[in-house]
A and B are shown apart, each in its own frame.
Chain A
Amino acid sequence: MMPFDHVNAGSPGEAVDLLTSYGGKGRLIAGGTDVLGILKDRILPDYPDVLINLKTIPGMDSIKESGEGLNIGALAKLADIASSPEIKAEYPALSLAAESVASPEIRTMATIGGNLCQDVRCWYYRYPHHMGGRMLCFRKGVGPCYAVKGDNRYHAVMGGKKCFAVCPSDTAIALCALQAKISIFGGEGTRTLPLEKFFTPMGNVLRSNELVKEILIPKPTQETRQAFIKFTERKPVDFAVASIACVLEILGGRCMDARIYLGGVAPMPWHAEAAERIIKGGSLDDPTAEEAALASVAGAKPLKGNAYKIEIVKALVKRALLRRQ
């Protein structure tokens, strides 16, 4: 690893001031589980002079429930989110998503803000510099996407254009399905937007002097049914090959509203709107779930080696919709 300096921020304002004063040579660190991997392998041509430690900001790791919903500080650890009894009871999709991330050690360190901001896992993008040189690809602003002609078994089957890496965040799809908002703090103050609008095909909308401050989730109604299912090659530790989070409003046996998001299949959390339209207003039986599963992958454009993901997504959609809980 190349050398860097390490400074502690005492407040969000101070972190933003530090980002500004280091002018692009400062990088934020919270749990560090993603950023240190990136630095150790020197996958990016740009290397920071300094890491700005957010974990020293007091109070930004709180999990607060109110009558209106849940406020989660960006520094809340995934382990605390997974084990919170309130989140288990009212926001099970989020609880399961947080629990599904990596290993106990990583969940102790990793934060919800970091989980949403983490970089992609594409093996071309992540190729270590010390093993023959980093790969300069479209995502790094120079070159093609090597996944198109290469081994693309874990790449996008939907929504890919110039880069086919998938958004790896498990909590992102759960939070999108729960209609979470994200509060961003920066030089120009605080802005809040629906989490879905946070993600872009090449990452997210964070500006160079901004950080994620808080996640706000409205309280689900009594009629809400939630599911989160993640398909991995090994049960724990792995990133999702494909995953689903859904939040359904069921009233008198009918599905009044539905939000279905897919993970691991697209550069962003994938909103399966066509599947939602099919199940809205009717009862959730086997044929409807089957039809929704087909609709969820309509228009998918698999690469040479990842068409298998489409079959997995269909199975996940069906399972999640028919799950009784």
Chain B
Amino acid sequence: MRDKAKLKMKVNGKTHSVEVEPDASLLEVLRDQLNLRGTKKGCEEGECGACTVLIDGLPVVSCLTPALKCQGLSVETVEGMEDGKKLHPLQEAFLETGAVQCGYCTSGMLMSSRHLLEKNTNPTAEEIKIGLSGNLCRCTGYVQIIEAVLSAVKKIKESEK
């Protein structure tokens, strides 16, 4: 057997030191070792986006990211989106517009949407479609998801007034 390796990374602001298999994906370490099961395992080939997380603020598919590539980096998952007990405006908007059906794609959608809004505070529907093009949803037909992101933009603007 190969030796386990020490991995130190920040997850949602908190530093974690874990011993990981050298071939473990970030997705496996998040779910199975850190018990952060909000990040979903979908296709495991980088096509569906269910496992999207942010590394140093940028979206990646955690299924194709060897965990050891995250040495010293900062990872954000859906669990880190809420502020205390208050949901992130994107999470609220997803609930209100019915953008969550089976929920399997939701955390990936949220992480991609969050990155999109950090780059572009006022996206058009077309820009949202492009921003979420790496996230598949088989339930909603995407209409409610795009509405949710547009609604979150409004919420964020109002809260900044």
**Known A-B contacts A6-B66, A32-B69, A236-B130; A108 and B46 likewise in contact (beta carbons under 8 Å):** no
Q: Chain B contacts of A46 at CB under 8 A?
A: none
Verify A40–B134 contact, CB threshold 8 A.
Answer: no
**Known A-B contacts A53-B69, A103-B134, A104-B133; A37 and B22 likewise in contact (beta carbons under 8 Å):** no
Binds A, one of B56-64, B88-96, B138-146, B153-161: B56-64
Tally of contact residues, B, Cβ under 8 A: 31
In the bound complex, what is the Cα–Cα distance between A55 and B18 (angstroms)? 21
Indicate the size class of the contact surface on chain A.
20 to 34
Q: Which of B59, B64, B130, B131 contacts A33 (CB 8 A)?
A: B64
Q: Chain B contacts of A5 at CB under 8 A?
A: 2, 22-23
Report the number of A-B residue pairs with Cβ-Cβ less than 8 Å. Answer: 84
Q: Chain B contacts of A40 at CB under 8 A?
A: 44-45
Q: Chain B contacts of A108 at CB under 8 A?
A: 58-60
**Known A-B contacts A6-B23, A102-B134; A109 and B61 likewise in contact (beta carbons under 8 Å):** yes
Q: Does B151 contact A (CB under 8 A)?
A: no
Q: Which of A3, A53, A55, A237 contacts B23 (CB 8 A)?
A: A3
Q: Chain A contacts of B130 at CB under 8 A?
A: 104, 236
Q: Does B5 contact A (CB under 8 A)?
A: yes
Q: Chain B contacts of A235 at CB under 8 A?
A: 133
Q: Does A320 contact B (CB under 8 A)?
A: no
Verify A4–B46 contact, CB threshold 8 A.
Answer: no
Verify A37–B23 contact, CB threshold 8 A.
Answer: no
Binary CB contact string for chain B from 104 to 125 against chain A (1 if under 8 A, 0 otherwise): 0000000010011000000000
Q: Chain B contacts of A37 at CB under 8 A?
A: 45-46, 64
B residues in contact (CB < 8 Å) with A: 1-2, 5, 21-23, 25, 44-47, 49, 52, 58-61, 64-66, 68-69, 71, 112, 115-116, 130-131, 133-135
